[in-house]
Chain A
Amino acid sequence: MSEQTTTRSEAPAASATGAVLLAALMGIGLIVLGGHVQADALHDAAHDVRHATGFPCH
């Protein structure tokens, strides 16, 4: 496992951490957009999913 990590010709550790952070931030962006933003159109469209997924709604 760790051997594979060290022999990979891919990204060095710094850019791997950057990729992890970027992916996590994009994920959080989607969660906030789908679950929390209260703009009317977005709220109405996502309404049922918000209730069924346990987001605080309304």
Chain B
Amino acid sequence: MLARLLTSGVIAGFAAGLAAAILQIMLVQPVLLTAELYESGQAVFEGGRAPAELVGGIEPLRDGLSVVFSGLVYAGYALVLTAAMAFAADRGAARIDGRTGLVWGLAGFVTVQLAPALGLPPELPGMGAADLGARQAWWAATIVATGAGCALLGFGRSWLAWGAAVILFAAPHVAGAPQPEAFVGPAPPELASLFAARALGVGLVAWAILGALAGSLWARDRVALGHASA
């Protein structure tokens, strides 16, 4: 069981992480590198005007590390997702395959990227932000609440469960994410909105791949085991 979980999770995670890294390097990295010019003072958004150009280019070491860490983070997500799938499947609560895996992946995206982004949008370098520890705590609590909400929404069988799901979805945002004391971002707002939108878009694609792949690998293993034990 553990070996199946680990192989499904790690393969799906690294594949999704690789896809996320490639998209990140193509779409998000130029925005990030441009923002770093404003963060370091090499470029100045003076008088509310700046050239509408993104810097580009591949940096082998930096981008290589992004591929490695993207793989690690998505492998982590994939292990948790696959464990949750196995937990539900073993109780007969869910049928897991590539199609249903896609729904699990979308729920994962909502849980770990979209919901936290409502309070703490993906940070352009140089943006103002509250204390790191407080933000990490809110981020983790939001993920736990949203994940539990998704589970209640998906597996609940009563209005009580669905109502509790809505409360769990809303609670972190009613409490509110830790916010900076002042808006101090040195970069043009166009960069910040492009960064946040692209970061979320890349996350959606990566999670769709992650869910569909984790689901179909899990289903394939199950079939293979079924034949083996027959």
Chain B 29-41 per-residue mask, 1 if CB under 8 angstroms from chain A, else 0: 1001000000000
Which of B1, B69, B81, B129 is within 8 Å of A56, CB to CB? B129
Specify the main secondary structure of chain A where it touches its partner. Answer: helix
Contacts of A55 in B (CB 8 A): 139
Chain B 58-94 per-residue mask, 1 if CB under 8 angstroms from chain A, else 0: 0000110110111011011111111110110110100
Query: In the complex, A35→B1 CA distance in Å?
Result: 27
What are 22 A-B contacts defined by CB distance under 8 Å? A5-B92, A13-B90, A18-B2, A19-B1, A19-B2, A26-B6, A26-B76, A27-B75, A27-B76, A28-B76, A28-B80, A34-B72, A35-B73, A46-B65, A46-B73, A48-B24, A50-B69, A51-B125, A53-B73, A53-B122, A54-B199, A56-B135
Binding site for A on B (CB under 8 A): 1-2, 5-6, 9, 20-21, 24, 28-29, 32, 62-63, 65-66, 68-70, 72-73, 75-84, 86-87, 89-90, 92, 95, 112-113, 116-117, 120-125, 129, 132, 135-136, 139, 195, 199-200, 202-203, 222, 225-226, 229
Contacts of B78 in A (CB 8 A): 27
Chain A 21-52 per-residue mask, 1 if CB under 8 angstroms from chain B, else 0: 11110111111011110100000011011111
Query: In the complex, A16→B91 CA distance in Å?
Result: 11
Contact A1 B95 (CB under 8 A): yes
Contacts of B129 in A (CB 8 A): 56, 58
Contacts of B75 in A (CB 8 A): 27, 30
Query: In the complex, A15→B200 CA distance in Å?
Result: 37
Contacts of B65 in A (CB 8 A): 45-46, 48
Contacts of A54 in B (CB 8 A): 112-113, 116-117, 120-123, 199-200, 203
Query: In the complex, A30→B76 CA distance in Å?
Result: 5
Chain B, Cβ-Cβ closest to A18: B2
Known: A11-B1, A24-B83. A52 touches B120 (CB 8 A): no
Contact B86 A53 (CB under 8 A): no
Contact A31 B73 (CB under 8 A): yes
Query: In the complex, A19→B6 CA distance in Å?
Result: 9
Known: A33-B72, A49-B73, A57-B123. A4 touches B82 (CB 8 A): no
Q: Which of B20, B73, B202 is most buried by chain A, counting CB atoms within 10 A of its CB? A: B73
Query: In the complex, A8→B6 CA distance in Å?
Result: 19
